[in-house]
Structure 1
């Protein structure tokens, strides 16, 4: 049986033509960009215009701003099987220069803290958060650029 592929958080990323991208919003009045997407109001405290919020794809590459590893089993609603030994995961904060923001995400499977360095270029790739009998819950990961 084929599992349905479902975003873990709807509206935060897309795999549409043009490639896998995170989705943000840009204020038409001040040009500030937000992630996660904002639907109600501009979060920029200096924005006097209160412009229309437009969906925009974010940069697919950035530079490592910071990183760490998670060596504990997080509490619910994180899904994990308590009967399986805990595997640490790596979190990466990535600076997207064009958007002037930092986005947090997990490193791609197989990428650990020893594989990262501040300032290193990384790229956005699709990832899997969890699978159950019917669904593959998708997310995003960051991996070092190799070329």
Structure 2
């Protein structure tokens, strides 16, 4: 029986692998963009707006910082405490159009030796964990080997 694909955090990214995007929200009053999404009020302390719209975020950004994770992270990350821990790479990516930095794991096989501050990366769908019934989906950042086209946001 095939596993059911489920996002680790519903509403934070699309399930469309053809146009995979993180989903944020934009305040219609001041234009501020948020991720993770905000559905109740504008987080901008200078704005009292509460009219928020969902927006797909840029798929490309630049590495702002990165590190290797040598500890077991807390939930929703899932790992078997009886298995050997394998470090992973965590990447902070600056999305220029949105004027924000978004954290995420690097794609499988990408380590700190493959990254540099200012290097371009792209968002790709990923798998956080699988169990007998589910494939838990997430996002990853992967280095770009060729220059992408212009980025647009909704």
Q: Same fold (TM over 0.5)?
A: yes
| 5+ residue gaps, structure 2 | 147-154
Structure 1 77/38 Cα, relative in aligned 2: closer, same or farther at 3 Å? closer
Q: Deviations over 1:36-87 (max 9, x none)?
A: 0001100001124x14100000000000000001111234553111222110
Q: Distance in 2 between matches of 1:97 and 1:76?
A: 29
Count residues with an aligned counterpart.
146
> Could you say which residue in structure 2 is the equivalent of 1:134?
133
Task: Out of 14-23 and 38-47, give the one that drifted further.
Answer: 14-23
* Larger displacement relative to structure 2 (12-21 or 35-44): 12-21
Instruction: Return the alpha-carbon distance in structure 2 between the equivalents of residues 27 and 73 of structure 1.
Output: 35
Compared with structure 1, are the counterparts of its residues 126 and 52 closer, same or farther at alpha carbon in structure 2 (3 Å cutoff)? same
Q: Which whole-Å CA distance do the structure 2 matches of 1:134 and 1:41 have between them?
A: 36
TM-score normalised by length of structure 1: 0.94
Q: Where do residues 26-105 of structure 1 align in structure 2 (5 Å cutoff)?
A: 26-48=26-48, 50-105=49-104
Query: Which SS does the other structure have where 1:114 is aligned?
Result: helix
Residues 64 and 95 in structure 1, CA contact (< 8 A), matched pair in contact too: yes
State whether residues 58 and 99 of structure 1, in contact with CA within 8 Å, keep that contact through their aligned partners in structure 2: yes
Structure 1, unaligned runs of 5 or more: none
> Does the Cα contact within 8 Å between 1:30 and 1:51 map onto a contact in 2?
no
User: How high is the TM-score relative to the length of structure 2?
Assistant: 0.90
Please identify which structure carries the higher strand content: 1
Query: Paired residue for 2:8?
Result: 8
